[in-house]
Structure formats: C-alpha cells, structure tokens
Structure 1
Amino acid sequence: MSYLSNDDIIKLVSEYLKESFYSYAIMLDGSWGSGKTYFIKNILIPKLKGDIKQHSIYISLYGIRKTEDISNAVFTAIAEDRIGKGKKLIPLISNSVRVLAEVVGNKIGSDTAGDTDLQKVFSPFIDFTSYFYIFDDLERCSMPINDVMGYINHFVEQNDSKVIIVANQVEIGSLDKQNNLELKYFFASQAGISWPTENNNQAIWGSNTISEKNHVVDLEEIKKRINYVFDENILYMQIKEKLIGKTIYYQPDLSIIVPMLFSKCLEIETRELDLWSSLVCDIFTEEKHFNIRTLQFSLLFFAKVTAAITPMEKNNEILKDILFAIVRVAIGHKKGNPPYVWSDNSEYGVISLKNDILSIHGYFQSFKFIHDYIYYSDYNAEHIVTVISSYSRSKESYADPTNKLKLFWQMEDDAIENEISIMFKNLEERKYKGESYRWVISLIFMLKGIDIEPIPVTKFIDMIKSNILEGESLSTMQQPAINQNSPCFLDYKECMENLVVFENEVEKTKTSDNINTIFEMASGWGEGFYDYYNRNESKILKAKEFFKHVDVERCVQRIIDSPVKELSDFLRGIGSIYNFSNLKDYFEADGENFNKLKHTLQSSKIKGKTKQYNISILNSHIDEILKRLMYNPI
C-alpha cells in the first residue's frame, strides 16, 4: 500500500472539487489515531480555502443513530456559514431540517429521488453545490452502514455535491456487530445449516443433509459463523463500489505534524523544538508507529512533568531524556507491550523494551515514574521531582567514564581499560556519590561478562565498602546498566545484596553509638530522642530496628534523674514514632528492649506524682507497642 504526501492529497482533493464530469465521493482511509481529523481541519481545509470556491461543511458521524441527526448537523452548519456562527438561526431551520430528513430518509436505497430533492426543498436560499461535505468517523456511526452510505449517496447523485468520507475501513461495521448479539449467537449455534468449510465456502440454508446433531460447536466456531453471516463489510463493499470513486490511504507526514504539535503543546526554544521534533519523528518512524494520539498524549504528559520542576532543574539534556523515554514507553504501551520490570527499588536507568537481550540497539534512558503513569495512571509530582533531582546529580559530564562506558561496544579494548582505571580513581577520591554506586558496579559486571580484562571487581567492591564506612549510602533509585536477562545479572544482584547487608550492619552500629549519646545531654534529651529519629527516619526504617539500640539502663536513669518535662517529651516521641498499624513489619526487633524498659521502670523507685502519672502512660504505650509487635517474651 502506497501513501501520498500531504501536498499530493491536497492536490488530488482540489482537482476532485473542481471536477464536474461525473458524480462520486472520495474516501480518506487511515488507521485509528493516525491524525486524519487533524489533517482535515488543520491542513487540508485551510490550504483549500484560497484554491476552490466551495465552502467546507465538516460533520462527525460519531454516535449518530438516525439520518435526522445528520440532517440537523448539515443544515445547522450551512446556516452558521451563511449567517455567521453564534447568531440566532432563522425559524425556518427547524422545519427545514425535518423536511430534509424526510426527503433523504424516504429515498435511501432507491436509485432516484423522485420529483423532490434537496435543492428543490430549500431552493432558492441554499445551493448545496456551493459546499463540499466532509463526513468523518464513518466507522463510529451507530446507524447501519447501508443507511448512512445511502444517505451520503443522495448528496452525491441527486444534488451533485462533493463529498469526502473519512474512515478507518478495517473497523467498518464493528459497532453493529454488538447489536442483537444474543440472537446472533443463538442462530449461529443451530443445527440444520450447512456452514462453509475449507472445501465449501457456500452455505446451504435450511438443509438437513449434512447436519451433525451430536456435533459440539465451540465458541470460536460460533464467532466465525456470526462474522460470515452478519459481517457488514460485505454489504459495505457493495455500496462503496458504487459511491466511492477514489480512495486515498492516509499516513501522517510526521515532519509536518510533529513540529506543529510541539509548538502547540510545549514552551521550548526554537533550536530545541527543531532538534527534538526531528528526533521524535525518527523514533516514530523507527517503531513504524504513526498514531498521532500517542504523540499528543506523550507531549501532554511531558508538559505535566515539566510543570512540576523548578526552573533551576530544567536542564535541556535531562528534559530530552525524559521526553524521549515518555515517547518510547507510550509507543510500547500502545503496541501492547507488557510493563517493564524494574530491578529492586530502581527509579531510573538505561533499559530496553526489546526481547532480544543480545542486541545493543533499542536501549534508552528511562524513568520508572513514566512507566507507572502510562501503565497504571500513578502520578506523584513530589516523587517525580525527587527522582529527577537524583538523576540530575548522578548525571556527570559526558567525559566521565560512567557515561563513556555506556557505549562500550563502540570502544577499543585499551580505551575501555583506561576508562576503568579512571573510574576507580574517581571512586577512590569519592567523586561519585552513593547514588552512582549501583551504576558503577553494574558497568563493571557487564564488562566482565564480555571478557574485558582486567576487571578488578573485588577492588571496586572494597573501595565502595570503604566509602560506605565513611558515610556514603547506596541509592536504590538508579536502574543498573545490566539487563535482567543478561548472563552476568545474577552475579551483579548477589554483589548488591551483599553490599546492602554490609551497609545495614554499618548503620546499625552507627545508630547504637549515636542514639545513646542523647542520654549524655545535660538537658533536652527527651526532645532530642525524637529529633534523632526524624533526622534518620529513612535509614532507621530501612534497617527495621531502632529502640533495640537504646541502652535501657541509661535511659531509665535519665528518667529518674531528670525533670518531668524530659519524661513527657520522651513519652511524646515514643507515641509519635510507634503509632502505625503495621509496626511489626518495621520494628519487630525492638520488642525485647521495650519489654526490658517496662520491667526496669516497674522495679525502679520513681518519685513525684506527675512523673508517676507519665510513667503509667508510658507503660500503656509500651503494652500497645508490644501487642502490635506480637512480642512474646521467652
């Protein structure tokens, strides 16, 4: 199937509208979402205005159930063109619409219109030939196809009108298939009918000669029978042969439509607009995807994301990565690709939606929040800003080895070895933050997987451990460079799991040392306890233990020695920290120390009525915490 350019289509339509040799309609046929309507309204009609004398009348057939509705739409559009949109229509319209519907409706299916036709009904105040008519969404019309095509045929044959029908032909009759479905299933399941087979494609109605009374008909066979008998495409093709003189197969000219949509939806500089729209065209062409609605959705989502970002974070390189990722994921979703499975808690990384893991092509930078929104409509602006900020910090200059090695397959062996050495030196000098460690390690394992020597994996891991001891923290946001189906992915995963365990142990030691220094404060230790938790909440929740590290004896002694306000502040902190329902999922390890705190307080001599009152409330809190933790003392 060949496709004409926009200019060729405009030329062909212009010649058709000027032609008067014989009457016929033309059809613009294109797939759903290909931009047919956009082309008609924004390109074709404006281009034709200076070239032809007729005015355009655009009618959408979407959901229309009877010819009177079409007549109403046609005559209203003509009246608006004649007297101006928004003005009060003349009283004659309502009666004329009724007559128009009756004239056309009564003549559908006949070869002639008799003594009365549209021009005679509305003569002399309307000349139907001074307009050309565009009937869009033919496949979405709720009328039977023979009725709507018959109606349009009267415009062409009886009134010498020029008509353009816009449709997706493969869906013609799809709506009517749902009508009287239960009767169609009943009919198609009946015995006594000789249904077509591979050797006999002619059905013999009412014959019992080859009826198989014991034959079980499955659902797929019933559907085939329904399509055979009730398929409106057969009737449609017969009417089309008479009505349609030319069929134009439409595919959007991306080089024109994409820049137009970019300038309409996005506020970006002209240089970026030209470059980005050209690259987006390449992506759509590469994917053989010409659905303009996919592009419109992508641009609107991109605009939504950029609106959440502060001006300082609007780096063009980062925005470009986000836009291209949105486009690729949106196309994949439209094609029916399953959601991409992200590793661990990764939030961004270089991924591939292709099934061929050995191919180095098809990889692109993507973000988990894009997949969450496109596949699950999950949008969290605050989280998106956090992810983009993290990505921005991890995106070093292109000269850095972590960026150069992304394209390692284009590099010579000695160049790769040199970049590995530089990458280790940067790691040693702590030029990489913890959020880059996952990417660095995955690169090392990926290079090891293709037998690049030497790859000092142990040396890199030891240096990362050293940096963790100095305060760096592994990031779970960045997607690793390795595809999950890669042969070296399991080795990488095991290494990361070991590093996470190592970091957790380091954090536990730090937590134990740091939390107990609170009790050395001369004053304010009660409030300081809660402040410490707030400052370290993410690490504490990750470690899944907190009060386990408290020195209970030191804590109780401070309660005894301190003013009641310190106890009150400490009590408020405990109540705030341990106040959610799934406590056991995070603080199960704290049960033993809370039980110890309760019994130590009970055996201690606490002076002061208000202090004893606060202790009773604290004991109640501890009982509730132990209950939620399902703690059973041994």
Structure 2
Amino acid sequence: MEELQRGIIEYVKNDNADYAVMINGEWGSGKTYLWENGLQKKIDDIEKNGIKLKSIYISLYGINSLEEISKKIFIEVLSSSKKFMGKIFNSKGGDVVPEIVKVAITGASFFGFSLDKMEIDYSKLSSLKNKVLCFDDLERANVNITDILGYINNLVEHDKIKTIIICYEKELESKIINRNIELKTLASAYIVMNNTEALQIINNKENEKTLTDLINDNNAEIFGKTNEYAKIKEKLIGKTFDYVPNNIKIIENILEAYSINDSLGIFLKSQKEIVIDVFIRSKTKNIRILKQALNDFGILYKHIISYDKELKEIIQKPLLVFVLSVSFEIKSSKVDKDKFKDFKDYYAIQSEIVMENMVKKGEKYFTEFRRRYYPGTEIDCLFFKFAEEYIRTSIINTDLIKVEMKVLQDNLGDKEEPSYKKIIFGRYWNMDDVEFNNALSETLKNLQEGEVHFSCYLNAFFILRHFLKENIIKLDMKQIKDIIKEGLKKSEVNAEYYENIDMAYKGIDFSNDEDLIEIRKHIYSLNDKLKNKMSINDVNVLFNMLPGNISEFQKQMVYNYCDISIFSICDINELYNKLILLSNKNLILFRNIVIERYKYNYITLEGDVSNLKILQELIENNIKEKDGSLSKMILNQLSKTIEKTINIKN
C-alpha cells in the first residue's frame, strides 16, 4: 500500500507526467478507503510554487451523462473554496474558460439559480490549476465507458489536469465487451455457421465444444482484442497500479477509529482477532461489507447493553460473529437475503443442521456455514432472529429484541441446558461416556413424557435411529417409535400450533422411508389439532364483533381464520343469538361469508359440520315461528346455504 501511495504522489509531483493513472482492484477491496484514509490527504499536502494542491473526488456511480460529471466537478470546485464562492458572481467577462465549465454552465442549475443567466466572473474559472481530480466507480457509470475516458482525456491533454481513476478493470473490460452483445453474437454466429472448419468441429462427436462455445470464443477473438477501451487506455493511462490491499492493516485501522471512551469501541478493539478471522473465512476480501457489518453490529449493540451485564457478556461475542458472517453471506450474494428468514431461533437452525447431515439431499449449506464460521468450540453457533431481521430488512424490531433477550437469558443464564437439547441437536460430541449415557437416558425420559416440543420429535427419531445403527442404544426400532408416539400425545397439552412446520422439514426425502413417513404423520396430525385448538379468548374476541362490526368479522374470517374450523369451537347458541340481531343487509353478508368460506376449503368444513347442523336447526325453528317477512326469506336462504354446504361434505 505504501508503494502504491508513493507512486501516485510521484505522479502528481511530476510536471512532465501528461497522462492519467489508474488504481485497479476488486470491488469492496478498499480502494476508496485507501483514498479517504491517507492518499487524499497526502495529495492535499503537496505544494507547487508555494500553493497547496486541492484534490477533487468524483464518484461516477449511476452517472447518466457527461454533463452530470461536469456539474459534479463544478460543484466540488465551488464548495472547496469559500473565497471563490464569495467572489465568483462579482463581475462580467473573463478570459478563456475550460471545456468543463462550458459544459457545466450550459443549462446547468445549482442551488436554485440558473448559471447560464447569471453574471459570472469567468476569470476565476480560467483553469483547474492546482487541482487533482479523482474519478471513482468508473465501471458503475451508466454512460459509454469510452465516452467517459474520452472526456477525461480532454481534461488531461488540454487542461493538463492531474487525474486518478479508481476502478475494477476486469469488470470494466467485461462491460465494454458485452455492450451490444446481441449484435456481436449474431455476427459471431454468422461467421461460425459459414466457417467449414467450425462446422466440422461441431459435427465431430468426440469434440466437447458446442455451437455456443464456438460463438463465445469467436466473440472474444474478434471483439475482445480490438475493443475501443484498449485503444483509449493506451492513449490516456500512463500507469496502472494494481491494488493488493493489506486487509489485516485496513481492519486494524478501521477498529482503531472506534472510540476508546465507549463500551462498543472497547469491545470491538478487544475482538480484533475474531473480526479478522471471520473476514478471512468469508473469502470475500470485501472491506465495504465489513464496514457495513460493523456499523450494523454497533446499532444492535446499543440495544443490548441495557440488559443484564452477565447476559451481555455472554452474547456480545456470538452476536458479533453472527452479524459479520450473515452479512458476508448475504451482501456478497453468496445466498439469497431470505436464506435465514424462516428460522425463528437457535434450535431451529441446529435442527436444520442435524437434518442436513442425516436425511436431506443436495447442498448442506447450514452445515458448511457452521463449519466455516464456527470451526472451534469457543463460540457457539447461536442464532439471533432480531439481528437476522435487521440485516435483511434494515428495521430494528425492539419488541423482538426484548422477547429474544428474555429467551436467551433463560437458556444461557445459570440454568443448565436440558440434556435432550444437546442430544437432539447433535451437540453431544464433547461429552465423555458417562455424561453421554446420562444425557441419553434423560433425553429418552423427556421424550416419553412429552416434555420436548412436538416439532423436534422427528429430529429425535433421526438421532435415536442413528444411535441404534451404531449400537450405542439398547432399544429396538419398535421401542423407539413407541417412545416417540407416546411423547407426541403427551406434548399436546402445552403445545401451540407451528405455522412453519413444512419449512422445518423442507428437503427431507420421505419417499422411501416408511418410518419417517409414520412419524411425520403423527406430528402433522398433532399440528392440525393444535391449529383448531384455539383459546376461548380468541373465539370470544372474534364472535363479539357481531352484530355491531360484521365488516371486521368478515375481514378476520377471510385473512386469519379461513382454514381454521372456527365454528367447531364456538358457542353455537350464542352465535345464533347474535345472528338474529343482524340487519337484513348484514345477514346477506354473513351468508356470503359462509359461501366463500367453504367454496374450496373442505378440510375446514369437516371440523365445522356438526355445529353448522345445529346452527341450521336453530335457524329453521326461528323461521317456523316468524310470519312472512323479508328477514324470514333471508334467514331461509341462509339455512339452505348451510344445508347445501353440509351436503357437499356428506
């Protein structure tokens, strides 16, 4: 890095260097960091003829025209000198105006003023003497790259301005070669199809190259070697400095910039080795992502420092590793940003890892994730939902932080983690034989008594079956299955419906495993029961909307209770008493709710049938007692709708 900076400084000082220089490096490698943290200041400290130079930094990211570049430079020049800003509008006339200013003034508008209609002292803009221009993000501009380089060449050649270009040259070349790629491919295809030798290669069965390969090769041969970029670069760029950063030094500097007067700075400085280790393991070499991740961690850190000091001490290191590792994975596009979305807690991701290794086919992403970022035993692979959600959405969920911190406090505090969690989630490798046997006995007891969440019983079955194959458990398959089934029945008492249970078992091949199919059937059956086992309070809240707020009742039935057998668990007599209080208009609306509810959803209907029959009977009795009226006719229509609905099932 020092050699690179020294080379740039020598170029700036050399009056005979009538060319631009380029700093070439991968995205996120720290090129901009190099400029902002050393190089820019060193340039600004250079004096020529008793006058200090002034660097002007311009990012070309998203630039749509050459005029925008001129405006950007002009604004930077204006904002860099208070004296200049004060005198620029004092008098008319002037001498020669550089090309850049001419373009900027034409139709340009700054700070609410139209520059082409103002009296500008052009003598103050006669040149950009003593200015050094730095153009960053060249490959990210939305303008033809060769046009931009031509523009910069004009500044260097005619205005004699020292110019530094920061870019990722590989991406730059690719962008130029791929311009008008459709036309280039058509041209290459025409050439290949009319080339006898090429056709012979395609028709040769022993040849591995396809027609597409030959067309791509032809593209590279014709358009890769003679592209405009190579020509203009040869004319404009005198030296190219390949930036190979000292990432360790950069990370040390980043951490050093944090204050030693607050707990965040003190903590991050103390975790330098971990930050460096995670960065290296990510294999991204992306300093930009690291800086963003550290900033995200700092924001989350402020939300956890108010909690119990002992708890904070336990989780802050795992939280740092989690934020860094997930940020590297998502922001470098290794995985989709929703990759971790469906995991609700630590045990969910541990369960996924167990299943990946025992039954799931295909990639074992989460196993590899843990192996890459958590290779030892010093830091556990904890999962922080509030952190995952923040990385994914940039939204701080303070309620989720409170809930999760409470759970973490219960699980990571003085209370010993239950043995069954260590066994079921594959965290038994560090146990000695006695400890393992005790943990296994306790786990079997916990499972049989229903003391384990029902969704974990499939995991438990995998593990126990694995132990059976390895002859380290004194049970046969029937005994294992009996323990699982009995435990599932007992677990229902304190269990709640698990909405994302399909995601928990995603990727498992059940097709040729009758034992797995049987256990899954019991788990899904229990989950279906729990889905319909709503609390009386929830039912009361819903049906208390009648008769006064039927529109909200309809909304809740459609969006929240469409596939729940809500009528099977309500007080049907109370519902009837509310129905007869509805206006005729709202009775029709209730009838429409019934029609739409059961149009396709026969599973929900199955649970509701018995109570719907009772409701129909109550309505029929009411109709017999009523004299002829509109409300009687509407109730009769409702009764027939319910009868028709019931008959669909029967």
Same fold (TM over 0.5): yes
Match of 2:109 in 1: none
Is 2:35 aligned against 1:40?
Answer: yes
Amino acid paired to 2:435: A
The alignment yields a C-alpha RMSD, in angstroms, of: 6.2
- 1:295-444 alignment runs, 5 A limit: 295=290, 316=312, 324-325=321-322, 327-333=324-330, 334-337=332-335, 348-350=348-350, 351=352, 355=363, 361-362=371-372, 364-366=381-383, 388=404, 392=408, 395-397=411-413, 399-400=416-417, 401=419, 404-405=422-423, 406-423=426-443, 444=464
Q: In the TM superposition, what is the alpha-carbon distance from 1:40 to its structure 2 partner?
A: 1.9
For the residues of structure 2 that align with 1:328 and 1:469, how far apart are their CA atoms? Answer: 37
CA contact (8 A) 1:31 1:168 kept: yes
Distance 1:462 1:382, change over 3 A: farther
DSSP-derived class of the 2:97 partner: helix
How far apart are 1:616 and its partner, in Å? 6.9
Is 1:283 aligned with 2:278? yes
Q: What is the CA–CA distance in structure 2 between the aligned matches of 1:604 and 1:567, rounded to whole Å?
A: 12
Counterparts in 2 of 1:430 and 1:69: CA distance versus 1, 3 Å: closer
Q: What does the per-residue CA deviation read over 1:7-62, in whole Å, with 9 as the maximum and x for residues that have no partner?
A: 55445544544456755543221223334234423553246555774321212344
CA drift of 1:471 comes to 3.2
Identity of aligned residues (%): 22
Structure 1 position 588, deviation (Å): 1.6
The answer to whether the 8 Å contact 2:457/2:488 transfers is: no
Partner of 1:55: 54
User: Is the alpha carbon distance of 1:80 and 1:297 closer, same or farther for their aligned partners in structure 2, counting shifts above 3 Å?
Assistant: closer
2:604 alignment partner, one of 587, 591, 599? 587
Do the aligned partners of residues 193 and 356 (structure 1) sit closer, same or farther apart at CA in structure 2, a change above 3 Å counting?
closer
The aligned residue for residue 488 of structure 2 is 465
* Corresponding residue of 1:253: 247
198, 221, 232: which one aligns with 1:228: 221
Structure 1 unmatched ranges of 5 or more: 103-120, 199-216, 519-523
The equivalent residue for 2:97 is 96
Relative to structure 1, is the Cα distance of residues 24 and 30 closer, same or farther in structure 2, using a 3 angstrom cutoff? Answer: same
* 1:562-588 Cα shifts (integer Å, max 9, x gaps): xx679649x999959966945453622
1:520-578, Cα deviation, whole Å (9 max, x unpaired) = xxxx9x99xx9xx9xxx9xx9699434346798xx49x97xxxx679649x99995996
Aligned CA distance change for structure 1 residues 466 and 13 (closer, same or farther; 3 Å)? same
TM-score normalised by the chain length of structure 1: 0.64
1:269 partner letter:
L
SS, match of residue 519 in structure 2: helix
Residues 1:192 and 1:488: Cα distance change in structure 2 (over 3 Å): closer
Distance 1:478 1:386 in 2: 25
The alpha carbon displacement at 1:134 in A equals 1.2
Q: Which moved more, 1:277-286 or 1:139-148?
A: 139-148
Q: Distance in 1 between matches of 2:98 and 2:383?
A: 55
CA distance in 2, matches of 1:410, 1:161: 66
CA distance in 1 between partners of 2:68 and 2:268 (Å): 43
Letter in structure 1 aligned against 2:473? E
Is the 8 Å Cα contact of residues 59 and 136 (structure 2) preserved in structure 1? yes
Give the CA deviation at 1:589. Answer: 0.8
Task: For residues 110-146 of structure 1, give each alpha carbon's deviation from its aligned partner in whole angstroms, at most 9, with x where no partner exists.
Answer: xxxxxxxxxxx97997572x33321222224566555
Structure 1 contact 59–135 (Cα < 8 Å) conserved = yes
Give the alignment of 1:199-210 within 5 angstroms.
Answer: none
Alignment-derived partner of residue 172 in structure 1: 172
Tell me, yes or no, if the aligned pair for 1:62 and 1:137 is still in contact at 8 Å. yes
Q: Give the unaligned 5+ runs of structure 2.
A: 104-121, 199-209, 357-361, 375-380
1:31–1:475 Cα change, 3 Å: same
SS of 2:371's partner is coil
- The count of corresponding residues between Structure 1 and Structure 2 is 566
Alpha-carbon offset, residue 288 of structure 1: 0.8
- Deviation per CA, 1:249-299, whole angstroms, max 9, x where unpaired? 2447366459849969xx973344346675454333112112345446656
Aligned equivalents of 2:37, 2:60: Cα separation in 1 = 19
Q: Within 5 Å, which residues of 2 pair with 1:466-615?
A: 467-468=490-491, 470-473=493-496, 475=498, 494-502=518-526, 504=528, 544-548=564-568, 555=573, 568=581, 581-583=596-598, 584-585=600-601, 587-590=604-607, 592-593=609-610, 596-597=613-614, 600-601=617-618, 604=621
Alpha carbons 1:23, 1:160 under 8 Å: kept: yes
- Contact 2:95–2:126 under 8 Å retained in 1: no
> 1:229 is matched by which residue type in structure 2?
I
Contact 1:30 1:249 in 2 (8 A): yes
Shift of 1:349: 1.6
More deviation in 615-624 or 54-63?
615-624
One-letter code aligned to 1:409 = W
The aligned counterpart of 1:112 is none
Which residues of 2 match residues 114-153 of structure 1 at below 5 A? 128=129, 130-141=130-141, 145=145, 148-149=148-149, 152-153=152-153
Residue 631 of structure 1, CA deviation: 4.5
CA deviation string 1:162-188 (max 9, x = no partner): 432201101224444565566545544
State the secondary structure of the residue aligned to 1:164.
strand
The answer to whether the Cα contact below 8 Å between 2:420 and 2:446 also exists between their aligned partners in 1 is no
Bigger mean CA offset, 616-625 vs 463-472: 616-625
Deviation at 1:236, TM superposition (A): 3.4
Report the Cα distance in structure 1 between the residues aligned to 2:128 and 2:530, rounded to whole angstroms: 87
Change (3 A) 1:27 1:448: farther
TM-score (norm 2): 0.63
Following superposition, the deviation at residue 365 of structure 1 comes to 4.6
Which one is further off, 580-589 or 30-39?
580-589
Alpha-carbon contact 2:192-2:214 (below 8 Å) kept: no
Partner of 1:270: 265
Alpha-carbon distance in 2 for matches of 1:227, 1:41: 37
Contact 2:30–2:286, Cα closer than 8 Å, also in 1: yes
The one-letter amino acid paired with 1:465 is L
Moved more, 158-167 or 299-308: 299-308
User: Structure 1 residues 603 and 54, CA, compared in 2 at 3 Å: closer, same or farther?
Assistant: closer
Task: Indicate if the aligned counterparts of 2:565 and 2:607 stay in contact, CA closer than 8 A.
Answer: yes
Contact 2:43–2:55, Cα closer than 8 Å, also in 1: no
Cα–Cα, structure 1 residues 196 and 448, in superposed 2: closer, same or farther, change >3 Å?
farther
